[in-house]
Amino acid sequence: MAHIDQVLGPDDDTVTFFQPRAMVFVTMLWVVTAVWALALALFAAVRLALGIPSGAGDLIRYLEVALIVPMVFTALILLVAWRRLGWLHSSMRGLDFAATGRRAVHVPWAGVGEVRLRGWGPFTELVVTPVDDQFAVVGDSGRSPRMRGRAYLVDVGLMSPGPRVLLAELHRRLPSKV
């Protein structure tokens, strides 16, 4: 263990942030339903523009598809990502995090250059910029971490306890870098 990772105090002060599956499901369901409803409306408008008549049966079929397809599609997405939802741990050793379906990253506190939130609501992202690429240790399994330039991105909008609590925790650990 390098001196930068040595624990100087108790190691039981880890704060864990995670994405509750129910919140992820409901948010994805709203987004998928909105996109699917727009696609169905566009399809109906194209049929109408081409002169293809729509009957009462077509309207009922559109309503059935508008209700069933988003639910099934969202459930399949969540089943694929079931054990790979995003998480973040803040401890004496540093910041450990992983975006949904991505490899975990560990950055010791001395290696954190800047931390900030970006976006709004359920689409809020945590942007972690290390001082140098040497400080970030990337895990083994999964796709490569989400990055923007040198910064790592983690979806935190749906995390529990929430982005404001996360920002307060990071400010407690890094008062000059948040």
pLDDT tens track, the chain, 178 positions: 444 444 444 556 788 899 999 999 999 999 999 999 999 999 989 999 999 888 888 888 888 999 999 999 999 999 988 888 989 999 888 899 998 889 999 999 999 999 999 999 888 999 999 999 889 999 887 789 999 999 999 999 899 988 889 988 988 888 877 6
**Per-residue pLDDT, 92:** 85
Alpha carbon distance 134, 111 (integer Å): 9
Alpha carbon distance 115, 88 (integer Å): 13
Extents of the domains making up the chain: 3-19+85-173, 21-80
| Of 104, 106, 84, the residue nearest 94 (C-alpha) | 106
Q: Is the dihedral of CA 48, 28, 98, 161 positive or negative?
A: positive
Alpha carbon distance 16, 31 (integer Å): 27
**Per-residue pLDDT, 12:** 65
8 A C-beta contact, residue 163 and residue 107: no
Contacts of 24 (CB under 8 A, 6+ apart): 78, 81, 85, 158
**Per-residue pLDDT, 11:** 59
**Per-residue pLDDT, 35:** 95
Q: Give yes or no for a cis peptide into 161 (omega within 30° of 0).
A: yes
Instruction: Work out the number of other CB atoms within 10 angstroms of the CB of residue 144.
Output: 9
**Per-residue pLDDT, 112:** 92
Q: What is the pTM of this model?
A: 0.74
**Per-residue pLDDT, 107:** 94
**Per-residue pLDDT, 10:** 53
Could you report the per-residue pLDDT of 123-163, keeping only the tens digit for each? 899 999 999 988 999 988 778 999 999 999 999 989 998 88
